[in-house]
Structure 1
Amino acid sequence: MPLSEHEQRMLEQMERALYAEDPKFASALEGSGLRTYTRRRVYQAVAGFLVGIALLMAGMVAKQVWLSVVGFLVMLGCAVLAVTGWRKAPKPGEQTGAPPHARHQGRARRSVMDRIEQRWQRRRDEQQGH
């Protein structure tokens, strides 16, 4: 179930607070999970590509055109998965930042987020002071 807009904002605020307190730890947490997932996806796509080659060759040996076509389609699909997965993978130490849909929103949205971030910072400072 997707998060509501309010929950997404709260999550973004908590992420920013984590980055502000310990950026090294936050970047280590963020990048490792996504890199591992992406790497695993690329490895699975390569394995699927090899299975596609085997199907293609088996179809040629058995003179079954349909099996060769299935092998080719498996190869094609796995190649697309590997390339898209590889492009989306963050580089080591790279911060992914805001989600793509948030990056393309206007200046007014940023000012709202800035105000929310300032309020969050004030609340955190007040809690630490008590």
Structure 2
Amino acid sequence: MPLSEHEQRMLDQLERQLNDEDPRLATQLAETSRPALPVRRIVLGAVLGVVGLLVILAGVSTHLLLVGVLGTLLLGAGILVLTARRPAQAARPGRSGRPTPDAGRGEFMSRLEQRWDERRRREP
């Protein structure tokens, strides 16, 4: 559902305020988005899904339960490849020298919280 004209103006005003108050944060928010799936994962997931469907059809047409189960497993693996998140990598030192988890959104949120705390400490 698209935003109304009033909502769009309010959103634009909020974006301008954020850019004025903390341009570094605004830049990071603009750059931070859900990373796109690599093409290899998309192709692998689609191929596994199609092969799984074909094997299920073969199992149904031959009345072999084991072939149908194998096809279901292949189809599930294809879906898993497409929807699974990347595993979190080992902790690495951040700017402060302390280890921070490299878990995408978790790291992003912790940086936002740190900036918020720093800003609150600076204010009288």
Normalised by the shorter chain, which TM-score bucket? Answer: 0.3 to 0.5
Structure-1-length-normalised TM-score: 0.40
Q: Which has the higher helix share?
A: 1
Q: Which has the higher strand share?
A: 2
